[in-house]
Structure 1
Amino acid sequence: MYRPHPFSWVPADGARHASSDTKPTSGYPTGICVATLCGHQLIADNTELAWLWDTCPDCNTAAHVLAEVPMPPAVGAR
């Protein structure tokens, strides 16, 4: 399975988190426990609605570091 970065996104606990756990071909199934980049063990919720949740800011920061992509400036920042 192609994985351009050493992490994948997974909805869990009310937010979209990033995890470096091995990702099954069909994605992290609902109910599986994943270790997140923000340092938690959370239960995946791979439902359509869950993918609309906000992104965990700590996972987002860690994912940008791993991807070697700088964080965009905050909205309204000059």
Structure 2
Amino acid sequence: MGTTSSDAEWRPHPFSWAPGAQQRHATTTRRWSHGAEVVALCGATVVADNSVQAWWWTTCEPCDVEAHRLAGVPMPPGVPRRRGPTTGGTPVVGGAALPR
């Protein structure tokens, strides 16, 4: 079964990010929606959370490592993780801090 122009989509990498279980996970699931179960690159099955706050969660380190491998990009040494509500940072959107 081939890909038609109506269902083809451009993806720069064979994975996408899907927040769930209080972390940002990477998945090979092409399309997901809020509340859907997705299998992450780390092996966990998580319920996707597409809320604004969820995108500020910390990145799952095993997913990050595997995503870099799939993208053909080495992990940068000593780069601090992104900060979000779960690590003590306060995300700010439009000049206002988001609720935790």
TM-score, scaled to structure 1: 0.86
How many angstroms apart in 1 are the aligned matches of 2:33 and 2:56? Answer: 16
Counting aligned pairs with the same residue, the percent is 49
Q: Runs of 4+ in structure 1 displaced over 2 angstroms?
A: none
Question: 1:12 is matched with which residue?
Answer: 20
Q: How does 1:46-57 map to 2 (within 5 A)?
A: 46-57=50-61
Between structure 1 and structure 2, the one with the greater Rg is 2
How many angstroms apart in 1 are the aligned matches of 2:70 and 2:14? Answer: 7
Question: 1:61 is matched with which residue?
Answer: 65
- Gaps (5+ residues) in structure 1? none
TM-score, scaled to structure 2: 0.68
How many angstroms apart in 2 are the aligned matches of 1:52 and 1:75? Answer: 17
Structure number with greater CO (CA < 8 Å, separation at least 6) is 1
Between the two proteins, the alignment pairs up a number of residues equal to: 72
Choose the corresponding residue for 1:39, options 39, 43, 49.
43
What is the Cα deviation at residue 72 of structure 1? 0.2
How many angstroms apart in 1 are the aligned matches of 2:19 and 2:41? Answer: 13
